[in-house]
Amino acid sequence: MRKITDNSEYPGYLLKCQEELLLDSGKIISDFQVAYQTYGKLNGNKDNAILICHALTGDQFPAEESPITKKKGWWDLMVGPNRPIDTNKYFVICSNVLGGCVGTTGPNDINPKTNKIYGPDFPTITIRDMVRVQKILIDELGISKLLSVIGGSMGAMQVLQWAATYPESLKSIISIAGSLKHSAQNIAFDEAGRQSIMLDPNWDNGRYPEKNKKPENGLSVARMIAHITYLSEKAFQNKFGRNLQEKKDLSFGFGIDFQVESYLRYQGKSFVDRFDANSYLYMTRAMDYFDVSSEIQNNKNKIIQNGIRFLVLSFTSDWLFPTKESKEIVSLLNSVGSNVSFAEVVSDRGHDSFLLDEPQFFKVCDGFLKGIK
């Protein structure tokens, strides 16, 4: 049984599913829920719906103030009235992913079989599992075909998984700063972040919620490591250089001397107030396991038959998901006969460019969406 209700904890809605979900790992999740938000109106033909897939630390609030941070939506520049994803025209859906910590079932929720918090007993998930749950939501909303599925970074992984697994359910995708699979370098960064969490004594083998603890130091360092990869060298240099933090001379100690140190510590500290450490472990593992290449090849006939249009975007200064990885997506899609467009956006702001004010990026996305019938 499935039921949509208002979300009592956050703005938006909950889809409560009293059923079993078989995961890629072979494990089963029972009685799960999906937290989501919508913007705009679904038209009579139900053919103006766009699904937005969020990145690793995102949530279901791309276009409104976050109830947790009280800051603008993470894609406020992209989604809204008269924005590239125009909520005057499109019905926009965004859900918190499976394994998340903003309303959708994850490791910090209650296991219905034990009536205790899942913690480390939460089953390992994949990007495909996340997309399975999104498909359940879209079906429940009565939408047979999405106008587009759009996402950046981990969101781009979900987008490609949608095209590979449910090609009959969408007209187009926009893959932004993504890849067909995680590189060895990215797996290495994720592992360093996970180890920083798991080596924090307060992690307590993932049982910290039961004891009202938080591995704050470990999660903070994990965020600092990741955040370094989101910016380019030039962005760091332009923003901070070697400027000192509210002092004229070096301290000759291990406190904060440089502005960039203060910035990273702030990023780490603010992150632990809004994100769950176990969710971070599970979601980064899902990214590491992602490899959609063979699935796209195996389903190429359905992809072609359904006439899916692809837009693949990269940024010149993104070294986390560099342009060469977007070109690998394009090459594979071309090899299976897909309708694919590609654009490399000039930006010196690194991987996070897709979240920032980049007019060329907005223009390309806007033009592509206007061409989808």
Question: How many CA atoms, within 13 angstroms, populate the side-chain half-sphere of residue 306?
Answer: 24
Instruction: State how far the Cα of 156 lies from the Cα of 175, in Å rounded to an integer.
Output: 5
Where in the sequence numbering do the catalytic residues fall? Answer: 153, 318, 351
Write the CB contacts of 259 (distance below 8 Å, at least 6 apart in sequence). 240, 241, 243, 244, 245
Helix (H/G/I), strand (E/B), else coil: 272: helix
Strands (E), the chain: 2-6, 13-22, 28-39, 49-53, 79-80, 85-86, 91-95, 110-111, 116-117, 148-152, 172-176, 309-315, 339-345
Instruction: State how far the Cα of 170 lies from the Cα of 150, in Å rounded to an integer.
Output: 11
Residue listed under structure tokens 């079989």:
113
Q: Which amino acid would we find at residue 299?
A: N
Instruction: State how far the Cα of 347 lies from the Cα of 99, in Å rounded to an integer.
Output: 32
Pure H helices in 231-292: 233-239, 259-272, 277-289
Q: Structure tokens of 154?
A: 């981990």
Q: Which amino acid would we find at residue 77?
A: L
Q: What torsion do the CA atoms of 132, 226, 73, 325 make, to the nearest 10 degrees?
A: -60
The closest of 103, 92, 97, 96 to 149, measured between CA atoms, is: 92
Cα angle: 76, vertex 80, 81; to 5 degrees: 140
